[in-house]
A and B are shown apart, each in its own frame.
Chain A
Amino acid sequence: MSALPPYASTAQISWYYGFRVICALIFFFLIFPIIVIMPLSFNAEDFFTFTPKMLALDPAGYSLKHYQDFFTNPDWQQALWNSVRIAPVATLLATSFGTLAAIGLSQSHVPFKSAIMAILISPMIVPLIISAAGMYFFYSRIGLQGTYWGVVLAHAALGTPFVIITVTATLVGFDRSLTRAAASMGADPVRTFFKVQMPLILPGVISGALFAFITSFDEVVVVLFLGSASQKTLPWQMFTGLREQISPTILAVATILVVISVVLLTVLELLRRRSERLRGLAPS
């Protein structure tokens, strides 16, 4: 949709502007609920609504007390610590397994490829509550329910499909003669993987890892089923906070999480672009 050509008909002109209105509405619908919590998190009162003082932009209507609560309250600090302990490990597992699975499934001689693929990405398709209930019964039997590793493994299972999908997409553009070239020069398969294949599919691996991390970091249903009080993560704490004591600290936490997500996405996207450029893959 570039500039309107001079021969555009009435219908084209109205679509030209109508299209922009639709786009704006979609953005508004997606972003407004997130934006609106940000000013509310600076509320001086313990309410979820804008006070008259806030609307009048009176400095007295704003405060950082909810942020202070988040950083001093031991419940929130424990939840933050749990999230930080769980998400990276789950991400690491999901990324390793997902990458390996994607590489395996990209080989031409694998039988039942689409069936295996469907099973591996099913955690993304099956309703979360069903996965969670299934995992609960299974993990209880094998003694993982209510443990740190139980939550980590469950989150890794939820994150793996994202890695498989992004890495598979990257592998489509991967030239197999590169691994043959490496072999002809004497590199064994392990060396070929780390020196040739891995650096080239890294952008896909990074994107997948990011999705896996966010999946674990934001996840509340599975952790409610599988976790015990000592695995209480940030989303869990927010969820119980909403039900039990409606404190705007939740809004402060939400704002912090949004900022973290945006920063993470931006940094990784920049890294990814940089590595693509360095690897001579992107058009300069």
Chain B
Amino acid sequence: MSENRGAAVRYESVQKSYDGENLVVKDLNLDIARGEFLTMLGPSGSGKTTCLMMLAGFEPATHGEIFLNDRPINNVPPHKRGIGMVFQNYALFPHMSVAENLAFPLQVRGMDKSEQQAKVKRALEMVELGTFGSRRPAQLSGGQQQRVAVARALVFDPELVLMDEPLGALDKQLREQMQYEIKHIHDNLGVTIVYVTHDQTEALTMSDRVAVFNDGVIQQLSSPDALYESPQNSFVAQFIGENNKLNGRVTAVDGSECVVEVPGGISLKADAVNISGVGSKTTLSLRPERVELQPEKEMDNMIDGKVEELIYLGDHIRVRMNVAGNREFVVKVRNRGERRQIAEGDTVKIGWAASDCKALDAVA
């Protein structure tokens, strides 16, 4: 695997089983570049946290090898790996002040006092908590504790920092703010960050690349925009963002395009992404904002739908429709101020481009 030399982290055929029967992680191969912000995204039980814990050294891999800077680390105990980590519940030492918490990894490394103080001060300033050094963690708010945890994971200059759902306990507004702060810290310091979350917004806003986990397998590994724009399978399409599903059967394939017949005898043109040929079942995936309601010009696909429900959301209006037998078909209409003459029960024409409609593996 000489072409992979230089990767900060490499998982090579890693498997993990807790009970010796069921694999929680199935044959994981993953390279993480130096300085990359990689997010492991997936529902709970998908194996993402287990992957992180194996990298940190808290769980041994059942099979395979993990490399850190091309050095195998399966037999290296956690405290000798030199990896910074931010925990979901912050894991700040309650019996130490904020400054003592930050100085802990430096003390362990035998750094002298004045250097320790300088580094602690710099780390606290980085997270804008310069005057909080003498407080105890219990005297800080959740957001402040989170910043201390981030500072503590970075204060000893590790090359790699792991974050295990670090923003899960914060409220929405604070979470968004912390996302940007962590992103900025990453940009400024150039550390490699492996971030685990089940929140897709977090994954999309922060990451260079996202690995979508499900059932112990990486379903797709790509940049956030590719993940949203061109999902490789139905799980990813469904998990990332909002998605309309239409089940059908492939009737023709022409290069990268295909024709799919959906219930009601309607033929739709779609981008052939993940289908097994003419006659096979497929699920079409279509983003709600890519559907035009009452299109003014001709589009690749134009069919009728019955409006079931209108939901006013301020900046846009969600129109739930019955399209080709799917009563959960959602169209997002931007609120441009003009009053649209649609009412519940109306039958209206909708249309979308073939390239926005992905033919993926069939799901029930």
Q: Which residues of A contact B (CB under 8 A)?
A: 175, 177-178, 180-189, 191-192, 195-196, 199-200, 278-281, 284
Given contacts A184-B78, A280-B136, is CB(A200)–CB(B83) below 8 Å?
A: no
Q: How far is the CA of A279 from the CA of B104 in the complex (A)?
A: 16
Residues of chain B lying within 8 A (CB to CB) of residue A200: 94-95
Contact with A along B87-112 (1 / 0, CB 8 A): 11101111100000000110011000
* A–B Cβ pairs within 8 angstroms, 9 of them: A178-B91, A180-B58, A182-B79, A183-B77, A185-B152, A188-B79, A195-B104, A199-B95, A280-B137
Residues of chain A lying within 8 A (CB to CB) of residue B138: 280-281, 284
Q: Which residues of B contact A (CB under 8 A)?
A: 56-58, 77-85, 87-89, 91-95, 104-105, 108-109, 136-139, 152-153, 156, 162
- Known pairs A180-B87, A181-B91, A191-B108. 7 more at Cβ < 8 A? A182-B79, A184-B153, A185-B104, A187-B105, A187-B108, A200-B95, A284-B138
Q: How far is the CA of A189 from the CA of B88 in the complex (A)?
A: 22
Residue in contact with B95 in the complex, picked from A182, A279, A284, CB distance below 8 Å: A279
A280 touches B87 (CB 8 A): no
B89 touches A175 (CB 8 A): yes
In this complex, what residue of B is CB-closest to A189? Answer: B79
Residues of chain A lying within 8 A (CB to CB) of residue B108: 185-187, 191
In this complex, what residue of A is CB-closest to B105? Answer: A185
Residues of chain A lying within 8 A (CB to CB) of residue B78: 180, 183-184
Residue in contact with B91 in the complex, picked from A177, A187, A199, CB distance below 8 Å: A177
Residue in contact with B56 in the complex, picked from A175, A184, A188, A284, CB distance below 8 Å: A184
A183 touches B93 (CB 8 A): no
Q: How far is the CA of A117 from the CA of B280 in the complex (A)?
A: 61
Q: How far is the CA of A180 from the CA of B108 in the complex (A)?
A: 14
**Nearest CB of A to B312, in Å:** 44
Q: How far is the CA of A181 from the CA of B102 in the complex (A)?
A: 12
**Nearest CB of A to B76, in Å:** 12
**Nearest CB of B to A110, in Å:** 16
B104 touches A184 (CB 8 A): no
Residues of chain B lying within 8 A (CB to CB) of residue A279: 94-95
In this complex, what residue of B is CB-closest to A185? Answer: B105
Given contacts A181-B85, A195-B104, is CB(A186)–CB(B95) below 8 Å?
A: no
Interface centre among A195, A199, A278, A284 (most CB of B within 10 A): A195
Given contacts A181-B85, A195-B104, is CB(A186)–CB(B79) below 8 Å?
A: yes
In this complex, what residue of A is CB-closest to B84? Answer: A184
In this complex, what residue of A is CB-closest to B89? Answer: A177
A185 touches B94 (CB 8 A): no
**Nearest CB of B to A220, in Å:** 39
Q: How far is the CA of A181 from the CA of B77 in the complex (A)?
A: 13
A280 touches B79 (CB 8 A): no
**Nearest CB of B to A175, in Å:** 7
B87 touches A187 (CB 8 A): no
Residues of chain B lying within 8 A (CB to CB) of residue A281: 94, 138
Residues of chain B lying within 8 A (CB to CB) of residue A182: 79, 93, 104
Q: How far is the CA of A137 from the CA of B289 in the complex (A)?
A: 86
A280 touches B94 (CB 8 A): yes
Residues of chain B lying within 8 A (CB to CB) of residue A187: 79, 104-105, 108
In this complex, what residue of A is CB-closest to B136? Answer: A280
**Nearest CB of A to B124, in Å:** 16
Residues of chain A lying within 8 A (CB to CB) of residue B152: 185
In this complex, what residue of A is CB-closest to B162? Answer: A184
A177 touches B87 (CB 8 A): yes
**Nearest CB of A to B275, in Å:** 45
A186 touches B156 (CB 8 A): yes
Q: How far is the CA of A284 from the CA of B135 in the complex (A)?
A: 14
Nearest first, the 5 closest Cβ-Cβ pairs linking A and B are A280-B138, A185-B105, A279-B95, A181-B91, A184-B85
Residues of chain A lying within 8 A (CB to CB) of residue B77: 183
Residues of chain B lying within 8 A (CB to CB) of residue A175: 89, 91
A178 touches B79 (CB 8 A): no
**Nearest CB of A to B90, in Å:** 9
Residues of chain A lying within 8 A (CB to CB) of residue B91: 175, 177-178, 180-181
Q: How far is the CA of A177 from the CA of B108 in the complex (A)?
A: 18
**Nearest CB of A to B164, in Å:** 9
**Nearest CB of A to B192, in Å:** 15
Interface centre among B79, B80, B136, B152 (most CB of A within 10 A): B79
Residues of chain B lying within 8 A (CB to CB) of residue A195: 104
Residues of chain B lying within 8 A (CB to CB) of residue A284: 138
**Nearest CB of B to A155, in Å:** 31
Q: How far is the CA of A52 from the CA of B363 in the complex (A)?
A: 98
Q: How far is the CA of A192 from the CA of B57 in the complex (A)?
A: 16
Q: How far is the CA of A100 from the CA of B162 in the complex (A)?
A: 31
**Nearest CB of B to A120, in Å:** 28
A185 touches B136 (CB 8 A): no
Given contacts A177-B89, A191-B108, is CB(A184)–CB(B83) below 8 Å?
A: yes
**Nearest CB of A to B60, in Å:** 12
**Nearest CB of A to B154, in Å:** 11
Q: How far is the CA of A185 from the CA of B95 in the complex (A)?
A: 17
